[in-house]
Amino acid sequence: MKKGKSSTLLAAMCLFVLSLIISGCGKNTASTEASSNGYPKMTIKFAHVVAEDDPKGQMAEKFKEVVEDKSDGNITVKVYPNGQLYGDDNELQALQSNNVQIIAPQTTKLAGFDESMELFDIPFLFKDEDNLYEFEDSEIGKDLLKKVRRRWNKGLSFLA
């Protein structure tokens, strides 16, 4: 891989790591209807604040594709990029109100709820993506994700 492509990939990976996918766990107000195979059909809203061609936007589209495929069309994911529904300042509130079911905020937005999320803002903390993945899989990384689960809805994953 060329050096320019490698650094672009690393930058994209770091952008993902500075985000979390958070899923709402409140009262289910996602639209549902019966399907022909007995499973309920469901539409969930996934809101984020970046462009569709941004790495996070591409991840959201891939998430939509995988969920819809794996659910045999019983789950429809509507992705709302560019802050179409909610901006950085109110997407967590929209999630907690179940106006959207999934968001992908940057960890800096979560630091107001728990200062330990500022850890990801420390420059050069991780020497490479392997070191970052190792941290995410460590007890400390798992504890950070549990804090999200305990305090706000449910943290599904660090994006990497």
Quickly state the pLDDT bin for 116 (edges 50, 70, 90).
confident
pLDDT computed for residue 63 by the predictor: 93
Asked if residue 154 lies in contact with residue 22, where contact means CB atoms within 8 angstroms, the answer is yes
Given a contact cutoff of 8 angstroms between Cβ atoms, the answer to whether 71 and 65 are in contact is no
Contact between residue 67 and residue 122 where contact means Cβ atoms under 8 Å apart: no
pLDDT over 90 for what percent of the chain? Answer: 28
Output the domain CATH number for residue 56.
3.40.190.170
CB-count exposure of residue 104 (10 Å: 0-12, 13-18, 19+): buried
Task: Judge whether residue 83 has pLDDT over 80.
Answer: yes
Question: Mean of the per-residue pLDDT values for the chain?
Answer: 76
Give the whole-angstrom CA distance, residue 106 versus residue 83. Answer: 13
- End-to-end alpha carbon distance in the chain: 19
Quote the number of domains for the chain. 1
Highest mean pLDDT among 67-81, 83-97, 99-113: 67-81
Range of the domain at 144: 3-158
Over residues 74-102, mean pLDDT: 91
Q: Is 150 helix (H, G, I), strand (E, B) or coil?
A: helix
Parallel, antiparallel, or unpaired for β 40-47 and 75-80? parallel
